[in-house]
């Protein structure tokens, strides 16, 4: 059995409620802030602690100088890009086509680099 390459990711944000609202709106999730599972409050991506993914936590964002976490969108890339803008994020360029789908570079309201990823239809 091969071990997963990515085990977990953590994205620092300055305002948990604002960040949870942004990610829920852009990705259609139902994340909530959990104050009992660790040393800091956190909000698990997608609201699913059983999935390999990551979470938001109170911290100091890298202001576009940190790693980029690519997250699957629930629909078309352009629709997710519109929601990103409307929720206070920014789009950084044009869609990029790869064999597995399409993605856009974006940033959340704290300036964290994220990728909006639309998987290729099977």
Mean per-residue pLDDT of the chain? 92
Question: For residues 101 and 73, what is the distance between their CA atoms, to the nearest angstrom?
Answer: 11
Domain range for residue 56? 9-119
SS3 (DSSP) at 93: coil
Q: Are 39 and 78 in contact (CB under 8 A)?
A: no
pLDDT at residue 61, rounded to an integer: 92
Domain membership of residue 114 (yes or no) is yes
Question: Is residue 69 within a helix (H) or strand (E), and if so which, with residue range?
Answer: strand 69-72
pLDDT at residue 1, rounded to an integer: 61
Q: Are 92 and 64 in contact (CB under 8 A)?
A: no
Based on the structure, what is the number of domains in the chain?
1
pLDDT tens string 99-118: 999 999 999 999 999 999 99
pLDDT at residue 82, rounded to an integer: 98
CATH number at residue 35: 3.10.180.10
Domain membership of residue 1 (yes or no) is no
Question: For residues 107 and 115, what is the distance between their CA atoms, to the nearest angstrom?
Answer: 8
pTM of the predicted protein model: 0.90
Domain membership of residue 59 (yes or no) is yes
């Amino acid at each position: 059995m091969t071990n997963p390459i990515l085990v977990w990711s953590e994205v620092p944000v300055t305002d948990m409620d604002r960040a949870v609202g942004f990610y829920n709106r852009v990705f259609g999730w139902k994340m909530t802030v959990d104050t009992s599972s660790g040393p800091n409050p956190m909000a698990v991506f997608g609201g699913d602690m059983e999935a390999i993914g990551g979470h938001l936590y109170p911290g100091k964002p890298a202001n576009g100088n940190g790693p980029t976490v690519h997250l699957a969108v629930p629909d078309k890339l352009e629709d997710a890009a519109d929601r990103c803008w409307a929720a206070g994020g920014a789009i950084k360029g044009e869609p990029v086509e790869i064999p597995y789908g399409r993605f856009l570079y974006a940033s959340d309201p704290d300036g964290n680099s994220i990728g909006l990823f639309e998987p290729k239809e099977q």
